[in-house]
Structure 1
């Protein structure tokens, strides 16, 4: 009995000791610790606003087209005897593509040659007679009328020789056209005819199409309303002309084309259906990376803002109405929200058109920790260019 009481007393002491330790630890945890001053300025990173010339760009949609295109058509009619090229291959200017049956054209050449030989023989006889009569008329051995007739016959024979020469040349040209050659160098497409097909001179359907892709055209469209606005900005001195015709290209998957092109010309007529006008840029096309008909986006300079202001995109936020704002370091080093107007993006920056002036400090780092009117401690951040 006494042993049981002693055991219960020992257990009670252990519980009391555990409770005392817990209370002591709780008392220690409740002891206030030294913390940061809630009124201390919040450290932030800022960029100092400055004005600088900024080249504004315009991104336009367009399609690629071949630099040179030639639709191959026969110049004489006949039956295709042979096709002399590989479909889809590269052909050079002057390379034979088709052979039209030449037999009838060769016969025409032979006939013209015979006609020329006959005309030359006639001319030789007429010329000799005319020369003799010219001498005889001086001694009154022949009449003047006979001499005139002889001279006229010689001239007529000479004209006939010239006509036969032209006929022979025409026959030879037609014979040469029985071999259809490539007018330009480039990639040739599929053939629309096979050996044995009958073709006619200058037919509507092309035998094949050749496209030269060493260079490529990019045909773009721009709104006439944008053009009017640009002209007003130029006239008002808000923008200066870039003086550059360089064009950058993005492919359909968003990747950048590595070769820069040049603006070739802009159209002078606005499309009545779309209210836009055309622009054309020329690009070198190494390896034929660009193919006709591809959808692309081109970026070209449209003007220079002489007093442009660029702000990193993280420094620009939107209010509940969607208006652009920035937080600046105001008087007495307190945060101040200021509405601004932004134009286009230039790389990773916004072009600010109103709301800021040179010397303003815009917060771009630590912005999420700042409350309007709260004190801040600004450190200048070097803006990436």
Structure 2
């Protein structure tokens, strides 16, 4: 037994020594450093931020709607004799659209006109009788009662004339309504009836619809939160308005930009209780009829210019656990610092920021994965293209002091 212990003891000590050496190497490997090696300084690409005038555009959704719409309905009963217009064509006010068979209405008018003539023929006789009785009553040839009866007969004759004239006017109106004309200028759609169809006065189904689309309205919708934000920027003086009403640009459903700009016409005086939005009505010229009522569009409204804004590339913005925007900067002593920023809105591939940045700050836009808070870095000035991609590195590092021009390796 004693001999076995004397043999195992050296083996146990040897295994313990090997385990200790292995643990030391794993520790060194996990830390990313070899024994005796110093911490390497990494390079990061930075942009030096400066205040600039930034146009503020609000993008909202909307739909096109006709400037004026008129549903064509008959005002008298009858059979459609003919349809005059071409479906889908432009019509003017007063153009004949439909003709309803006028035969019965013409007969009614003729009868009313004859009744008027008969009533008018009775008036002179009644008037002459009154005039004669006025002379005779003074000579005691007729009684006062006879004169009163004559005056009553004259008044009745005049009333008959008035009633007959009203009947003629009504018959004339009905006869006129047998010719259905356009009440507004615009494009007329398809017809719901053909010749020979029976129509009734004030029926529910329109015969056709006319829409005026040049110019055309575009009804937009924006949130009340956005309205308050823009109003606050105006009140603070940061946002400068241009002269005249705001200009509006349309983006069509296929992504193309409508070549003509529109103007703001009116805004709703109330906010929707269900959606928290309010309506904006704009107006656009539409000579070539590209815009048709009911099309879905997006509109960019030019509300002014932020005279002291900072544009931060979206690639440099991250979000913390609370959802706040954060970005990494290089301090004056070339150390990494994370700040919380207040983003106002997206401007292309950038964010407009109004808090958390000062003039000349160096923003890290490349090498973010290697930049740790408090770590020393070598800042290298970079250039971004229109899509926010690094396209050029300058040979000199970006330092806090513009006079410092220590060479640095190009990324």
Q: Same fold (TM over 0.5)?
A: yes
* Aligned counterparts of 1:135 and 1:373: Cα–Cα separation in 2: 128
* Aligned counterparts of 1:306 and 1:138: Cα–Cα separation in 2: 99
Give 5+ residue unaligned stretches, structure 2.
Answer: 1-39, 387-411
Say whether the 8 Å CA contact 2:44–2:378 is kept in structure 1.
Answer: no
Give 5+ residue unaligned stretches, structure 1.
Answer: 1-38
* Aligned counterparts of 2:101 and 2:58: Cα–Cα separation in 1: 56
| Residue 156 of structure 2 corresponds to residue 156 of structure 1 | yes
Match of 1:191 in 2: 191
Moved more, 249-258 or 341-350: 341-350
* Aligned counterparts of 2:106 and 2:165: Cα–Cα separation in 1: 16
Question: What is the CA distance between 1:374 and its match in structure 2?
Answer: 3.6
Say whether the 8 Å CA contact 1:43–1:379 is kept in structure 2.
Answer: no
Say whether the 8 Å CA contact 2:48–2:360 is kept in structure 1.
Answer: no
Say whether the 8 Å CA contact 1:338–1:355 is kept in structure 2.
Answer: no
What are the residue-to-residue correspondences of 1:183-222 with 2, within 5 Å? 183-222=183-222
Match of 2:327 in 1: 325
Q: Decide which of 349, 373, 381 is 2:376's aligned counterpart.
A: 373
Match of 1:297 in 2: 298
Match of 1:145 in 2: 145
Question: What is the CA distance between 1:198 and its match in structure 2?
Answer: 0.6
* Aligned counterparts of 1:352 and 1:274: Cα–Cα separation in 2: 27
Question: What is the CA distance between 1:240 and its match in structure 2?
Answer: 5.5
Give secondary structure in 1 for the equivalent of 2:218: strand
Say whether the 8 Å CA contact 2:329–2:361 is kept in structure 1.
Answer: no
What are the residue-to-residue correspondences of 1:76-87 with 2, within 5 Å? 76-87=76-87
Moved more, 266-275 or 208-217: 266-275
Match of 2:351 in 1: 350
Give secondary structure in 2 for the equivalent of 1:263: strand
CA distance 1:224–1:319, change in 2 (3 Å):
closer
* Aligned counterparts of 2:163 and 2:114: Cα–Cα separation in 1: 13
Match of 2:177 in 1: 177
Number of aligned residue pairs: 340
Cα-to-partner distance string for 1:229-252 (whole Å, 9 max, x where unaligned): 666x36984866847443221111
Question: What is the CA distance between 1:258 and its match in structure 2?
Answer: 1.6
Question: What is the CA distance between 1:267 and its match in structure 2?
Answer: 2.5
Match of 1:274 in 2: 275
Give secondary structure in 1 for the equivalent of 2:288: helix
User: How does the TM-score come out when normalised to structure 2?
Assistant: 0.71
* Aligned counterparts of 1:373 and 1:139: Cα–Cα separation in 2: 134
CA distance 1:345–1:212, change in 2 (3 Å):
same
Question: What is the CA distance between 1:128 and its match in structure 2?
Answer: 1.7
Superposition CA RMSD, Å: 3.6
Give secondary structure in 1 for the equivalent of 2:66: strand
Give secondary structure in 1 for the equivalent of 2:132: helix
Say whether the 8 Å CA contact 1:58–1:302 is kept in structure 2.
Answer: yes
Give secondary structure in 2 for the equivalent of 1:288: coil
* Aligned counterparts of 2:143 and 2:336: Cα–Cα separation in 1: 121
Give secondary structure in 1 for the equivalent of 2:292: coil
What are the residue-to-residue correspondences of 1:217-232 with 2, within 5 Å? 217-227=217-227
CA distance 1:236–1:280, change in 2 (3 Å):
closer
Match of 1:308 in 2: 309
Say whether the 8 Å CA contact 1:250–1:298 is kept in structure 2.
Answer: yes
CA distance 1:380–1:177, change in 2 (3 Å):
closer
* Aligned counterparts of 2:222 and 2:153: Cα–Cα separation in 1: 70
What are the residue-to-residue correspondences of 1:240-279 with 2, within 5 Å? 242=241, 244-279=245-280
Give secondary structure in 2 for the equivalent of 1:183: coil
Say whether the 8 Å CA contact 2:311–2:351 is kept in structure 1.
Answer: yes
Q: Which has the bigger relative contact order, CA under 8 A and spacing at least 6? A: 1
Cα-to-partner distance string for 1:266-325 (whole Å, 9 max, x where unaligned): 2234444434333222222121110111111112256765643334557x3548979442
Match of 2:58 in 1: 58
* Aligned counterparts of 1:110 and 1:40: Cα–Cα separation in 2: 107
Cα-to-partner distance string for 1:190-218 (whole Å, 9 max, x where unaligned): 11111111100000111111111112121
Question: What is the CA distance between 1:84 and its match in structure 2?
Answer: 0.7
